[in-house]
Structure 1
Amino acid sequence: MREELVRRFEDFGTRTALYDHGTAVTYAQLLKRIRDIRERLALHGVRPRETVVVHGDYSLDSVATLFALHLGRNVVVPVVTLTGTTLDTLVEHCRPGHLVRTTANGVEIQDLAEQAAATGRDLAEPGAATGPDTAEGPAAVHGRIGDPQAAGLVLLSSGSTGAPKVILHNLDVLVDQKLEKRPRRRENALNILMVLMFDHIGGINSLLSTLLVGGTAVLPRQRTPDEICALIERHRILVLPTSPTYLNLMMVGGYHRTYDLSSLRLITYGTEPMSDELLRRVHRTFPGVRLLQTFGTSETGIATTTSESSSSTYFKISGAGVEHRVVDGELQLRSRTQFLGYLNYDDDSLTEDRWFRTGDLVEEAADGYLRIKGRAKEIINVGGEKLLPLELESVLMGSPLVEDCVVYGSPNAITGQSVCVDVKPRGPLTRAELRRHVTEFLSGRVEPFKMPTKINVVDTIEMSDRMKKLRSRPSADGE
């Protein structure tokens, strides 16, 4: 299928493939850059099946490097934020041979094997990694793919509850799935804004879904609501992939009034559950736009979904490549694009028959539609009574004085946990006034054990770089 990818890019020719921070890049130019980078990689000693870290966010060079490494049958590790700890983790469990940095000044290629030798660490030393991979050298990870002609993709989990998991995929499977779709005609090609991260399964999915059918990917410099809405207006964006938290930021900031967003035809939202009240707000704000809930995981890829309607949080997993089942309230998936394993953890998230336990708790309707209730690990247990944060957040978002909120559990010596909430108020309210309002608003609407024991007033609701609300707290003191 590599030949088909190159042929499509050649056929798309003068179509615009990317807007790289405002500069139009045709498919012909993208293909030339891919070939140039392949030559540079070869000159720097990058060999087929070697693992290569690509450090950088969306740009012509990062996208071209991704495809160059795919064509070279390498294992690609995209990383937007590369800390010393992250690099140590990758060296330990992936044994990359080279690091490619894509910057405003171009592409820099660093030989990690030479660096390791200089620091006394041998990447080819047997047993250097502590994970399941015990083969030797920078091509060690490739052996886990099981196909010497395939390319690989390594993704890191967000690591919100500990060290990130190092997740291995067969990149050929992800690419081939997109190549099965027919190219769009030039006049019907979609332009899609790359809001989701370059090193996230949602971002990779958006990029492949756009370029392999002849669409245009618009690459932002920053992911602020101001810049994203300005790009929607400037490029007449049709499709916006994003998250519920990010949509709320756009609405709260009034950016939908500042910019002309009338070009939007579809907003897809995922990465975290959408509350019913927030969806109602989004639907009112964008009445002519179809809203589609997406679902996927770093381990299983992004599933094809169908929302019950733009005003419903119920959806179906409708793609032929993904099976699903619900066991004890938890959604389990088995997909064609399923990961090959963790490189630093045991595969205990897989059942004996290879179903992936997503950790998402769902409600299943009689007609087969599903509704995400929240993550199992986020359950707040108050003296044996259990609460999912999304339930309380959805109620609170119905208050005219609550702009946004996040609910989380806090350790409690008596009940095990207590309910805490951070609230961003709407309008000029004192802390005492808002706290009183929250208590009065929830009274009679929720059971007593769900009433927050701590109500913190905040200026902003913290969001991860993957556009999810941050629920974990280093301490539970509050105010």
Structure 2
Amino acid sequence: MRDELVRRFEEFGRKTALIDRQVEFGYDDLLDRIRSAREMLRAHGVAPHDVVVVNGGYSPNSIAALFALFLNRNVVVPMVTLNERDLGTVMEHCRPGFLLRAGAGLELDELAPPPGGTPSVLDRLGDEGAAGLVLLSSGSTGAPKVILHSLDSLVAEKLESRPRRRASTLNILMVLMFDHIGGLNSLLSTLLAGGTAVLPGQRTPEEICELVERYRIRVLPASPTFLNLILMGGYHRTHDLSSLRLITYGTEPMSEELLKRVNREIPGVRLLQTFGTSETGIATTTSESSSSTYFKISDGGVEYRIVDGELQLRSRTQFLGYLNYADDSLTEDRWFRTGDLVEEGADGYLRIRGRAKELINVGGEKLLPLELETVLLASPLVEDCVVYGRPNAITGQTVCVDVKPRGELTRAAVRKHVVEFLTGKVEAFKIPSRISVVDAIGMSDRLKKVRSLPDSGTA
């Protein structure tokens, strides 16, 4: 497998592999950087199965480091940003021996893990010949979950299929992050097929649209929240997006009303809902249509079932376990409980209703935020909104909403409009008791809405 990866890169030769800040790098240059990175690993005594933290976003050097560590059979922990909480969690549960900073160059420092025994990461990896990958969950409170994958399995999945000529001519924007399962999936899918990965600098809606125009991007991976930011900023009008043929969206549920907006504002582009988790990888999907939020998991390597309304998955690229949490998200027969509540339509098509943990319970009456957000987005005065629950001494929880209004409206006018707009359209308990007017709806690094939750305030 490792020989096949190198052979492919050699075969692609001078074809452009990466575009970083308008500078093009061929596969031959990428391969040279991979070899240089491996030489550096050897010079510093980095042995197979040593755990290495790679700090940095997308760059030719960080991508070269990723492949060098794979070829060296290391356990890779990509971290775009280093904060005390996450690094402390990694130090405790992965016991990394090295920190590799990837930017304009590569800098390798030795780490001193806390006292203790050998890291369980090696025991969980199992295959002595395999490289590992550690991802951190995106939770914003408490210690993140430390998720262990076989990097060999993820790479092998992409190497199984021969590069298609059409795929090898595509420029793909790396919108999702370097330490995100979706971002790594996009990167591996693009480079192992001979495509060109275009690396954004800031990942702002304006920059992404500018890059679509500059490099005639045909496939844009994004999230519903990010697509709405493009529409709200009008960047789809100030930049030429006519090259786009496909927009894939995932990481969070898409509201039907927002999907209508995207179809209306960016016409002639096919829309495809993707689905995956940090634990099971990204599944191949088929949308019922560009105007439908129903999709089908059409991946031979992924099984699914629905138990009590929750989607459960089992995949060939499934994680090997958590290093710091009990694997209680796995059933006895190794199905992963996604936490996504779904409904099944005709011919096996699914629609995500929302996250089980986001369910709002008002005195026994239940509401998923996506339902109310979809109704509110149909208002001509609501540009964006986010619904969440808050504790209430009498009803258990109460419904709250943050609204970004369209146009110049007073806060009182917005609150009055929301109540009047919802009255008669939804049941009385779903009408928010607290309506906050905001300048912007928060978005996480993973391009998802920041939704307040009763136990933490953020998510």
What TM bracket, shorter-length normalisation? over 0.9
Partner of 1:417: 397
1:278 aligns with 2:277: no
Please tell me the residue identity of whatever aligns with 2:64.
A
Q: 1:187 to 1:296 in 2, by over 3 A?
A: closer
The counterpart of 1:446, out of the listed 421, 426, 430, is 426
Q: Tell me how far apart the structure 1 counterparts of residues 141 and 283 of structure 2 sit (CA, whole Å).
A: 25
Please tell me the residue identity of whatever aligns with 1:190.
L
Residue by residue over 1:380-422, the C-alpha shift from the partner in whole angstroms, topping out at 9 and shown as x without a partner, is 0000000000000000000000000000001101100000000
Q: 1:476 to 1:468 in 2, by over 3 A?
A: closer
Shift of 1:141: 1.7
Please tell me the residue identity of whatever aligns with 2:68.
A
Q: Tell me how far apart the structure 1 counterparts of residues 65 and 19 of structure 2 sit (CA, whole Å).
A: 16
Shift of 1:112: 0.3
Q: SS of 1:429's equivalent? A: coil
Contact 2:311 2:337 in 1 (8 A): yes
Please tell me the residue identity of whatever aligns with 1:202.
G
1:170 aligns with 2:150: yes
Shift of 1:242: 0.7
Please tell me the residue identity of whatever aligns with 1:210.
T
Q: 1:29 to 1:400 in 2, by over 3 A?
A: same
Partner of 1:253: 233
Matched pairs, number: 457
The counterpart of 2:302, out of the listed 322, 330, 337, is 322
Contact 1:21 1:59 in 2 (8 A): no
Q: SS of 2:319's equivalent? A: coil
Contact 2:286 2:295 in 1 (8 A): yes
Partner of 1:262: 242
Please tell me the residue identity of whatever aligns with 1:229.
C
Contact 1:194 1:220 in 2 (8 A): yes
Partner of 1:111: 110
Contact 1:191 1:216 in 2 (8 A): yes
Shift of 1:352: 0.6
Partner of 1:205: 185
Shift of 1:185: 2.6
Q: SS of 1:367's equivalent? A: helix
Partner of 1:82: 82
Shift of 1:57: 0.2
Q: SS of 1:377's equivalent? A: helix
1:7 aligns with 2:32: no
Q: Tell me how far apart the structure 2 counterparts of residues 217 and 103 of structure 1 sit (CA, whole Å).
A: 17
State how 1:339-418 maps to structure 2 within 5 Å.
Answer: 339-418=319-398
Please tell me the residue identity of whatever aligns with 1:241.
P
* Percentage of identical aligned residues: 74
Q: Tell me how far apart the structure 1 counterparts of residues 189 and 455 of structure 2 sit (CA, whole Å).
A: 41
Q: Tell me how far apart the structure 2 counterparts of residues 341 and 201 of structure 1 sit (CA, whole Å).
A: 15
1:141 aligns with 2:121: yes
Q: Tell me how far apart the structure 1 counterparts of residues 141 and 456 of structure 2 sit (CA, whole Å).
A: 16
The counterpart of 1:230, out of the listed 193, 206, 210, is 210
Q: 1:338 to 1:400 in 2, by over 3 A?
A: same
Q: Tell me how far apart the structure 2 counterparts of residues 447 and 234 of structure 1 sit (CA, whole Å).
A: 48
Q: Flag structure 1 segments of 5+ consecutive residues without an equivalent.
A: 127-135
Residue by residue over 1:33-58, the C-alpha shift from the partner in whole angstroms, topping out at 9 and shown as x without a partner, is 00000001111111111110000000
Contact 1:244 1:278 in 2 (8 A): yes
Shift of 1:366: 3.1
Contact 1:321 1:335 in 2 (8 A): yes
Please tell me the residue identity of whatever aligns with 1:96.
P
Shift of 1:160: 3.3
Partner of 2:60: 60
Q: SS of 2:221's equivalent? A: strand
Shift of 1:462: 0.3
Q: Tell me how far apart the structure 1 counterparts of residues 202 and 168 of structure 2 sit (CA, whole Å).
A: 28
Q: Tell me how far apart the structure 1 counterparts of residues 7 and 55 of structure 2 sit (CA, whole Å).
A: 28
Please tell me the residue identity of whatever aligns with 2:72.
G
Q: Flag structure 2 segments of 5+ consecutive residues without an equivalent.
A: none
Contact 2:16 2:25 in 1 (8 A): yes
Please tell me the residue identity of whatever aligns with 2:388.
Y
Please tell me the residue identity of whatever aligns with 2:227.
L
1:152 aligns with 2:151: no
Partner of 1:471: 451
Contact 1:233 1:259 in 2 (8 A): yes
Q: Tell me how far apart the structure 1 counterparts of residues 285 and 103 of structure 2 sit (CA, whole Å).
A: 36
Q: Tell me how far apart the structure 2 counterparts of residues 415 and 244 of structure 1 sit (CA, whole Å).
A: 31
Q: 1:390 to 1:96 in 2, by over 3 A?
A: same
Q: 1:100 to 1:260 in 2, by over 3 A?
A: same
State how 1:288-307 maps to structure 2 within 5 Å.
Answer: 288-307=268-287
Residue by residue over 1:236-255, the C-alpha shift from the partner in whole angstroms, topping out at 9 and shown as x without a partner, is 11111110000000000000
Q: Tell me how far apart the structure 2 counterparts of residues 158 and 19 of structure 1 sit (CA, whole Å).
A: 28
Please tell me the residue identity of whatever aligns with 1:302.
I
